Structures are given as C-alpha cells and as structure tokens.
Amino acid sequence: MTNRNHFVLSVALFSLIFNVILVSSQPLAVDCGSKGGKDEDGRTWEPDTKYLLQSNGSVQLQAGYQDPSLLSTVPYMNARIFTSPATYQFPIKTKERYLVRFHFYPSAFPNFNITNSYFSVAAGGLTLMNNFSAAITCQALTQAYLVNEYSLAPSDSEVLNINLTPSTNYTNSFAFVNGIELIAMPNLFGMTNMVGYDSSSVDVSTENLQMMFRLNVGGQSVPPSKDAGGLLRSWYNDDPYLYGAAMGVNIEASKNLRIDYKDLPKSSAPEDVYRTARAMGRDSKLNLKFNLTWLFQVDANFTYIVRLHFCEFQLDKVNQRVFNVYINNQSAQADPSPADIIAFTDGKGVPTYKDYAIVVSDGPGDEMVQIDMTPSTASKPEYYDSQLNGVEIFKLNDGSKNLAGSNPQPSAMLLQAESEPKRSFKSNSSVIGGATGGAAAAFVVVALLIVVYTKKKRVHGVESHTSSWLPIYGNSHTTGSKSDGKSNSGHLSTLAQGLSRHFSISEIKQATKNFDESNVIGVGGFGKVYKGIIDGGTKVAIKRSNPSSEQGINEFQTEIEMLSKLRHKHLVSLIGFCEDGGEMCLVYDYMARGTLREHIYNNKKSHLSWKQRLEICIGAARGLHYLHTGAKYTIIHRDVKTTNILLDENWVAKVSDFGLSKTGPDMNQGHVSTVVKGSFGYLDPEYFRRQQLTEKSDVYSFGVVLFEVLCARPALNPSLPKEQVSLADWALHCQRKGVLEDIIDPHLKGKINPECLKKFADTAEKCLSDHGLERPHMGDVLWNLEFALQLQETADGSKPGSSSTSDQGSVHSTDSSVRSQREALHVGNLSLGSEHELSEEVDNESAIFSQLVNPKGR
C-alpha cells in the first residue's frame, strides 16, 4: 500500500470517528413484538418491551406469510398489535434533531383482520399519520411493506413519546408496527427562501418534516449501510422521476478526485451522491432547447422543502457551467441569480446543498413538485449546461402540527378482484407483492392516476390503431381525476371500469368454441392463448388463466392494470377481460402475424429483409420508450424478448405481455427490489446480482433482442459449445473482436450496409453494458436505430424516411428482392395463428430449456 493510500485511509478513519462523536447517541433500532435479532445488514434490532409504556391490549404476532420481496425478516416478520391506545417512550437528548423511521408490513395476522386496521401515530404531540391504513397504502402502491421517515425538530423534552391509537370509527380496529428506528442527527436545516415570494423565508431548523423522496441523481442507489453520518438513509436513482424524453447524461467524478466536504457536515449526503450527477450533454446548442425536468407527486396543502445537492467535479472556474433552477415554474435560482456550483463552493470536488421552500396548494394541476433546470444565457457562461447531483424533498408540518395525508385509493380492478371469494388471496399485500416498501405514504397519490380515457369501446381493435400516440394520461382530465380520486372514490371506480370491456364467460366460450384445443395459438406462464371471434367477425386473442396458477392470478391483475392504462401504436391493445364462472381471461387484438421470433429463425417460412427487421425493432423500441417515458411514471416491462414482440397484419411491431410489469413511483423510490423475474437469456445481469430493477433492465433485454434479430438464433441455445450458449455473451465477444459479421444471419450476408450494421451493432452492444448506468435510454436506442435505418435506406437508394412499419403492406420499394420476399411472406403466413404456432413454440429448444431451468416457464 502506498503512502498516499495510507493517508486517504487515515483521513477516512478520522472522519468516521469524528462523525461517531458528532452523532452523540447511538442509533436505536427496535423490532416490535419480538425478542429482537439481526437484519440482513448485520444490524441489531432490540426487543420493544422496555420502551412500551402502556401495553394494555397489546399482542405480539408473527406474520403469517413472508413476502418474497422482503429484504430481511427482521423487523418485518414480527409485529406488535394494539387494540387500545399505546405509547412507546424513548430517551432522547434535548435540543437535538431526531430521525424516526416506522416500518410496516401489513400481513395476514392470526385472529386479526388487517383490513380493519386504521390508526393514528403521533410523536411528541405531532400527528404523523392519521386514519392510516398500511394495508390500503401498500395495496395501492403494490408494495409489500412501507417505511415512513420523519425528521423531528429539537425539543426540550428528555423523552420522546410515540402514541399509536386505533381508530374508533371502525369496529375491531387495531394499530400495529413492525419496527421503529430513532437516530439523532445534526440539524441540517435552517433559514430557507420561499420560492415565488420575494425575500420571504421560513426557519426550518425548528420544524418537523416528513421525508418524501431521496435520490442520487445520475447515480446508482445507495443502501442504508453505505449512507454517510450513520443516518442509514436509502438513496434511490432518479430515472423514474425524470419527465419527458430529454434525460440528459450521467456524469461521474474521476476515481482519484477527492471529495472535500470543507464546512459541510459529512452527514449531508454520502460521497456516492456527490460523485455522480446528471448533466444535459455536450451539445450547447441542443441544451438551450430543453429543460431537465423531474416530477414528484405530493400531498396538497403542505409546504415542501426541496434540497438540491451539488458538487462540480469536471470544471474548476466560475462562469463555466451556469444554470437556472425553477421549482413549479417559479424561479428558485434563476437569472439574475442563477446557479454556479463553483461560485457556491469555491472549488472543484467541494459539495454543497441548497434548500428551497415551495407551497403546494390544492388547485387543478397541483399536488406535484416539478424541478426544471436550463442553462443560464444571461450570464454567458463558457458551457450551456446544468447539473444536479442529488435531491431530497421533505414535507413540512402544517400550522396544526400535522404531517398526515390521506390514504391512497387502490384502483377499482384490484378491489373487485379481491372481493371475489373464490379467488381469495393470501393477504392483501402478497397479492400484488413484488415491489418493496420504502415509499412514504404520501406517494400514494400516484396510484390514483388511473387513466381518464374517453369512453371509447375498443371492440374492433385493429381499426383503432389509427388512433395511436395518445398520451396515457389525458390532459385536463388527469388533474380532475387526481383530486376527485382523493375525495370521491366512486367517481374513480366508474372511470376505471369504463376502461375496458367486460365479457361474460358464455361470450368467451362462444368465441373460442368452448376453449377448443384447435384454437390454441400459444402457451405462456399464465396459461393458454386461444384465437377467437367476437361480435360476429372480429378476430381476437384470448388468454385464459390457468386456474391453478397463483402466479397467473397476479400477472392477470398486473396486466389488466397496465394495459387498461396504456394505448399506443406499438403496444398490444387489451379489448377487455372476463372474470366470471371461475374463469379469468384477457381479450386482446389479434396479431395476425404472431411473434417476431417465428419470423427470424426456426421456421420454414421465408425470411424478413434487413429493412423490415429494422423497422420492427424501431417499432418495438418506440413501444418500450413510451412505457419508460411516455407516461409520467416509468413502466418497466421486465420480460422483453422476441416472443413478446408481436406483429400485426401490416408488420407493425407491438410489445405484449405486461404480466410482470412494474410502474415507476409505485416502486421503491426509484427501483424495485424484488424476486428476479424475466426470461433466461434476456436477464439483466445487474438486476440479477442486485435484485434492483430499473428501466435499464429492459434496455439490456432489448439489446439481446437486437442481436437475436441480427444473428437469427435464440438468446440461449444449450446445444452450442459453451462459449456460444448465451447470445449476449457470444455476440459481445464477436463484436469486440470485430468478427460480428461471421455470426450474422446468413440470409442477411451482403445485404446490410456496413455503416448501418456498425450503428446497429454498436447500439446493441451499448444496451448490453454491464452497468445500467452505462446503457443508453430507450429514447437513444430508438434514435440510433432510426439513424441505422436511414443509413440503410440511403445505401439502398430508396427515399429515406418514406417508409414506416405501418405502410409495409403496400409494396413501394424498388428493391425487387425485398418485394418478392414480402410477397412470399404474405403467402407463407396464411397459416399463422393456427395450431402450428403452438407446436413450434413447444418444439423450440430454447422454450424447453427455459422450462427446464424454471418449471413455471419464466
């Protein structure tokens, strides 16, 4: 070890010790209703008995079911349940700010019905939660557990009383809690300017706050064990909160740059937050044309503290990177006093943060915090760029010492499915479980954002493809539904129900000739897929749930939830569903040409031209890009593969199978930690290792699809030599050795323009980057593929941009070989949708392989 390393190490050690001394009392972690134990990080949780003042009517219980998404059994598997008011009393230091975290895992408890649990929680006379239902909150967020975090103002008291009071408005109501953490923290708050009010400010150092969002902008999520100052906070990636197609670029400090906190308390944020950032990109001209925008759903009628963390690690002079910051369209740090990080900090590698207070009222379009950044032109900086390293958003208590919002409203579909006695679920949370907790209860508003869609009945699905590119959330209606949703649940349910058509089981039976085997066109993890005819002529595909598959039920729910909200030219359309007579079926548009896979290999049919393949990839990329960004909330598909890209009669690619999808802020503040799901051969290795899902996992899978389309072989082919089994590994290997051309589809040899091939392969390679951060966004992938298509078209001599996937049906290409291929395809596909497809799917060696490695077929 060099002297330099010694030096760095001792500095680190010194600052560690220094910090421990600063945070005077030890962090307290209490595992309620248990004898205590260690969590997955090796942290010890104490039993709660010695802190319990009034334990009249309290019971210790063990959860009846362990959701797979629980990262640790401690503190979640045990709970203390209170049927009458109860108080925990903790010793605290006077004049010290405290961080309090509550952990809730609303599970099926013996003898207690979790749906009856409504309660309030107060701490030191401050209402933190009121009429709070952990079950409803988890259900609406589709999370298994919740962590609510608060920061309590310094007081003169030597004890902190935490009161849990079951609601008296519900019979058999009870309160419960799984874990409580109490950590002394430096008072990191002070005088804060109110955005939108000239020179008015609020003193936050004496206020109580609830943590709403905490993000490591442009960086990976930071787990509690890696937080600074012993505060054990989680920092999540900001991708899900970015709004619009302009995502900027992730930048990272060089490894040998030292982060020098100077006067800033170390506990402000860990180094990892300051070492990464999001900037706009290198093109100054382009940067002037857009804003970096983040959007957060919050409760109305509160003031929020928006804390922006900055650290400049690339430039070292003032007036090099100067930018304007707006919060809710109002100047927070904009001309004439724009943000210049070097001017704030006096140096490269020196972090700082800036706080802004913003009032969020209850008007239409409110209930959100929007951060906009754009280069400052007035100060004529060297670069037109902006940068953000981290963001935290806190809710400030209101005048009546209250921080509580209301419960979220789970969507009508979920409620309806759960009220079906035949389909009783293990517990509320496990039904939808999968995503994990960590979200503050106030995110819930997000779950209310059910689409308001014109009550159009989409019976003749194929025809309505013309009405593509509709936003997920209708403009003016959206805001209406949000505020209405909170106060008037009835309104919401009717809207949700109007989204898709209900079929009776007899209609379904008639459509499929009583589920005749000859109508089966595919099988999936969910069950069989049948071809059917409704309304006397409209062809549909009907997915029938395998009644014995628990997984199927969950995926059924997810798919309805997702698809009823989504309408896009490149996403398969849900026409309706049937939940009747013990059957669950989903009815979709019929995709006349079946899956992408069957058109690129393992078939006796003719082969798609390169241009057609590019156009199909572009269509699928559009569909995924829309999922990731078209909605205000990121939706992660989780199972991108060539069998989930379907083709309609005009060769328009449609992404299908949303059974595993997850939505953005329904997730754990930026990612989902969950049991790994997806298909082997397409699985993002980073997701597999860290079990943290971001939309970059879809980008990885799409990279595999791109190579599959180019090389015409399955993602996994166990019959090949070991180094070739995985297409992702093999293609990357060949690409890096410069011999990719050796493995491309023989039918394409000599037909791809070399520049186009290079662009395509480079794009696919980037998608397969080991780290999610290094992978491009779906929007970049889309752009690159379109560029590749242009290169090909220019080379082919056909009119660039003249063709799109939708007009493939009419042959207007001058390339006669392409034409004859297309005609052959028309003929070759007449049998599509018949029983051939099933046998093909089952004959397919990779299908068998994936069933071998995972009996459920996933």
The catalytic residue positions are 639
User: Is the omega angle on the peptide bond into residue 75 within 30 degrees of 0, that is, cis?
Assistant: yes
Work out which of 78, 328, 397, 803 binds ligand NAG, going by CB under 6 A. 328
Cα–Cα distance measured from residue 426 to residue 431, given in angstroms and rounded to the nearest whole number: 7
Residue 770, CA distances (Å) to 24, 468, 713, 773 in order: 41, 34, 22, 9
Work out which of 153, 368, 566, 660 binds ligand NAG, going by CB under 6 A. 368
Using CB under 6 A, which of the segments 323-331, 540-548, 729-737, 829-837 binds ligand NAG? 323-331
Work out which of 131, 719, 814, 817 binds ligand NAG, going by CB under 6 A. 131
Under DSSP, the state recorded for 122 is E
Confirm whether residue 395 is marked as ligand binding. Answer: no
* In contact, 48 and 30? CB cutoff 8 Å: yes
Is residue 56 a contact residue for ligand NAG (CB under 6 A)?
yes
CA angle, 92 then 93 then 99, to 5°: 60
Residues 134-153 that bind ligand NAG (CB under 6 A): 136
CA angle, 148 then 152 then 157, to 5°: 135
Q: Which of 589, 601, 672, 661 is nearest to 631 (CA)?
A: 661
Residue 158-197 contact track with ligand NAG, rule CB under 6 A, x = bound: ---------xxx----------------------------
In angstroms, give the least distance from the CB of 157 to ligand NAG: 22
In angstroms, give the least distance from the CB of 446 to ligand NAG: 15
* In contact, 522 and 844? CB cutoff 8 Å: no
Residue 429, CA distances (Å) to 106, 262, 416, 417, 828 in order: 7, 46, 15, 13, 48
All residues at 6 or more sequence positions from 55 whose CB lies less than 8 Å from its CB, including other chains: 49, 86
In angstroms, give the least distance from the CB of 309 to ligand NAG: 20
Closest CB to ligand NAG among residues 300, 676: 300
Closest CB to ligand NAG among residues 475, 810: 475
Cα–Cα distance measured from residue 834 to residue 651, given in angstroms and rounded to the nearest whole number: 18
Cα–Cα distance measured from residue 446 to residue 781, given in angstroms and rounded to the nearest whole number: 28
Helices (H), 722-808: 727-737, 754-767, 778-796
In angstroms, give the least distance from the CB of 199 to ligand NAG: 20
Structure tokens at 635: 């939706």
672: β partners: 693
Give the CA radius of gyration of the chain.
28
Cα–Cα distance measured from residue 202 to residue 358, given in angstroms and rounded to the nearest whole number: 10
Cα–Cα distance measured from residue 193 to residue 355, given in angstroms and rounded to the nearest whole number: 8
Is residue 845 a contact residue for ligand NAG (CB under 6 A)?
no
Is residue 363 a contact residue for ligand NAG (CB under 6 A)?
no
Closest CB to ligand NAG among residues 450, 618: 450
Work out which of 65, 290, 601, 783 binds ligand NAG, going by CB under 6 A. 290
The footprint of ligand NAG on this chain (CB under 6 A) covers a number of residues equal to 26
Closest CB to ligand NAG among residues 196, 685: 196
Is residue 488 a contact residue for ligand NAG (CB under 6 A)?
no
Using CB under 6 A, which of the segments 369-377, 558-566, 678-686, 825-833 binds ligand NAG? 369-377
Is residue 329 a contact residue for ligand NAG (CB under 6 A)?
yes
- The C-alpha torsion from 412 through 576 and 695 to 638, rounded to 10°, is 110
In angstroms, give the least distance from the CB of 59 to ligand NAG: 13
Residue 787, CA distances (Å) to 247, 586, 794, 799, 806 in order: 19, 37, 11, 14, 18
Closest CB to ligand NAG among residues 490, 746: 490
Work out which of 15, 19, 49, 54 binds ligand NAG, going by CB under 6 A. 54
Is residue 374 a contact residue for ligand NAG (CB under 6 A)?
yes
In angstroms, give the least distance from the CB of 524 to ligand NAG: 31
Closest CB to ligand NAG among residues 303, 792: 303
Is residue 359 a contact residue for ligand NAG (CB under 6 A)?
no
Is residue 407 a contact residue for ligand NAG (CB under 6 A)?
yes
Is residue 643 a contact residue for ligand NAG (CB under 6 A)?
no
Using CB under 6 A, which of the segments 88-96, 322-330, 350-358, 689-697 binds ligand NAG? 322-330
Residues that bind ligand NAG (CB under 6 A): 54, 56, 113, 115-116, 131, 133, 136, 167-169, 290-291, 300-301, 326, 328-329, 362, 365, 368, 370, 372, 374, 407, 486
Q: Which residues are annotated as a binding site?
A: 543
Q: Which residues are annotated as a binding site for ATP?
A: 543
